[in-house]
Amino acid sequence: MLNDSQRREKELAVYDAVLRLIARGEDPAALTVHKIAAEADIGKGTVYEYFPSKEAILRGLTAYCMDTELRQLERAAAPCQTLEALLDALLAYFAELARQRAGIYRVIAGALARQTGSDACQPDAAVLARLRGLLHATITRLRAAGEIDPDLDEEYCLYALAAAGVSCTVLLSAAGDGAPGGTVLRFTRRLLQRALCAPEQ
C-alpha cells in the first residue's frame, strides 16, 4: 500500500500529464483516462484508484494549478523589501503566467465549466485565505519599511494589488505574442505606484 507521499507523487504525475497533453493541443473534453494514464506512464487501473473519473482529475488539477501559482507568488514576494522590488517581482510573475500558463488554464476552466457548471474553477476558501495572507504579510512588511502610504486602508491595498494582478494577466494574455506587453507592464507599475506609494517626505 502506498504511503501519503507516494500517493501524492502519483496524483502529481497525473496532473502533469494532463497539462502536457493540453499544452500539445489536446482538447480536455476529448481526453480519456486511458490517454492520461499512458502519458503519465501509470496503469489505467492505478489512475482509477485515485480518481473516480476524468472530471475528478480536472477538478483536482484546478486545485493543483492554484497551489502552484500561490507557491510561485510566495517565492516572488518573499525577498522583496521595497515597493519597487515587489513590483519588479510581481510584474515578472504576471508576464510569465500570461506567456506560459494562462492559455492552458483557460482551456481547463472552459472544459470544467462545460462539464460541471460555471463555478467549477472558483478557488476555495483555503486558497483565498492563503492568497490574502500572502498579500497582507507583504503589505505589512512594506508599510513597516515606509514603502506604502501609512494612511491607506489595508483592504484598499489588498484590492489594489489583486485588481492590478488580475487585469495585468488578462491584458497580457489577450495581447498575445508581438503585442505591446511592455505597455501593459508599465501601466500596471504606474498604477500600483500611484495607488500605494508613501508620499515624499
pLDDT in tens, 80-94: 989 999 999 988 998
Distances (CA, A) of 124 to 58, 76, 107: 15, 22, 20
The shares of helix, strand and coil residues in the chain, as percent rounded to the nearest 5, are 75, 0, 20
Which residue(s) pair with 148 in the sheet? 197
Q: Is the pLDDT of residue 119 over 60?
A: no
Place of cell 482551456: 107
Confidence of residue 201 (pLDDT cuts 50, 70, 90): very low
- Quote the CA–CA distance of 156 and 53 in Å, as a whole number: 42
The string over 53-63, giving b where at least 16 C-beta atoms fall within 10 Å of a residue's C-beta and e elsewhere, is: ebeebbbbbbe
Question: 138: closest CA among 188, 73, 199, 43?
Answer: 73
Res 1: pLDDT? 56
Please report the pLDDT score of residue 123 as a whole number: 65
Does 191 have pLDDT greater than 60? yes
Structural domains in the chain, CATH included, are 1-52 (1.10.10.60), 64-196 (1.10.357)
- pTM, 2 dp: 0.78
Q: Are 61 and 133 in contact (CB under 8 A)?
A: no
| Of residues 87, 61, 62, 93, the one with CA closest to residue 75 | 93
Radius of gyration of the chain (CA): 19
Mean pLDDT of 170-187: 76
